Amino acid sequence: MTSTLVVLAAGIGSRYGGLKQMDPVGPNGEIIIDYSIYDAIKAGFEKVVFVIRKEIEKDFKKIVSSKYKNKIQVEHALQELDKTPKWFKAPANRQKPWGTGHAILTASELIDSPFAVINADDFYGRSGYLLLKKEFDGLKSASDNKFFMVGFEIAKTLSEHGAVSRGVCKIDADGYLSNVVERTKIGKAASGIFYVDGGKEVNLSEKEIVSMNMWGFTPYIFGHLRTMFGDFLKQSGDQEKSEFFIPNAVDSMIKSGKVSAKVLRSRDSWFGITYKEDKEMVKVKIAGLISKGVYPSKLF
């Protein structure tokens, strides 16, 4: 079955202070997105949809997308404030689009197959793509109400340079997601991994599975997302910084019995540049993977 990768990149210019300033982490100027696309191709994905903003479209296509010509089919979806129901008008002081759930809806017209969703600036490792592709190929149809979440052991997602927030997963006996509890101020000390709750440190086992926003969906999700996004706009659309997050939408769909979400456990370590000091760590880890033969020195 055809599989698509959706890369959420609408915020990338603001995060990095400009598209041309995205930090290279590979020996030939590769950025994290390049490794994600390379892994997806190796896993058998045939198409990638980048969700971007109009203001970075020209530069993004020239600097990023052009590298994948003849490697994988590439499409672009523009996530803008006016991509909302006709009855809604965005508040005058609103500057940013409406979050990850809105981003996926923006790409819906370009997707007619099972699809994975990732963040543009996160490194996930190849096993997640392989796990998702295997599940996609086992679906009876592209409209199945079976979803997937690639989870990572919490110990493989931390920064050495400060606390992080993670969605700690509750998984039932059959391996399906029950819910995700957002924990903030997660850190590591000599005593182990902990999070702060009400000013108190609560220890974790280091084996907890967390969500890093690597999902597998089918087009079945679009109808439900449109309904929920409309409800969200009615309730919170007048707020300057409200966001329609995909984990919240999936959690609501699970609780209502509309879908199931199987948890796939990645064997890889997630990493990203949460703090500026993380950049050197990322470069070292990429170099280590190259030395082990996981990636060639030059990707594209």
Q: DSSP assignment of 169-212, as one string? A: EEE-TTSBEEEEEEEEEEEEETTEEEEEETTEEEE--S--EEEE
Global pTM? 0.91
pLDDT at res. 71:
96
Which helix (H) or strand (E) segment is 167 a member of?
A: strand 164-171
- Tell me the percentage of the chain whose pLDDT exceeds 70: 97
User: Do the domain assignments include residue 296?
Assistant: no
The pLDDT tens digits of the residues spanning 113-165 come to: 999 999 998 999 999 999 999 999 999 888 899 999 999 999 888 877 778 88
In terms of Cβ atoms closer than 10 Å to its own Cβ (0-12, 13-18, 19+), residue 44 is middle
User: Do the domain assignments include residue 130?
Assistant: yes
State the CB neighbour count (10 A cutoff) for residue 86: 5
User: Do the domain assignments include residue 226?
Assistant: yes
Confidence of residue 21 (pLDDT cuts 50, 70, 90): low
User: Do the domain assignments include residue 237?
Assistant: yes
* 197, β-bridge pairs: 200
**Number of domains the chain is built from:** 1
Any idea what the CATH number is for the domain that residue 266 is in? 3.90.550.10
User: Do the domain assignments include residue 298?
Assistant: no
Range of the domain at 106: 4-291
Helix (H, G, I), strand (E, B) or coil at 32: helix
The pLDDT tens digits of the residues spanning 31-88 come to: 999 999 999 999 999 999 999 999 889 989 998 999 999 999 999 999 988 888 888 8
User: Do the domain assignments include residue 68?
Assistant: yes
User: Do the domain assignments include residue 161?
Assistant: yes
Tell me how far CA of residue 240 lies from CA of 5, 24, 94, 237, in angstroms. Answer: 30, 33, 5, 8
User: Do the domain assignments include residue 264?
Assistant: yes
**Neighbouring residues of 155: CB distance < 8 A, sequence distance ≥ 6:** 193, 206, 207
Angle CA 137–130–23, to nearest 5: 135
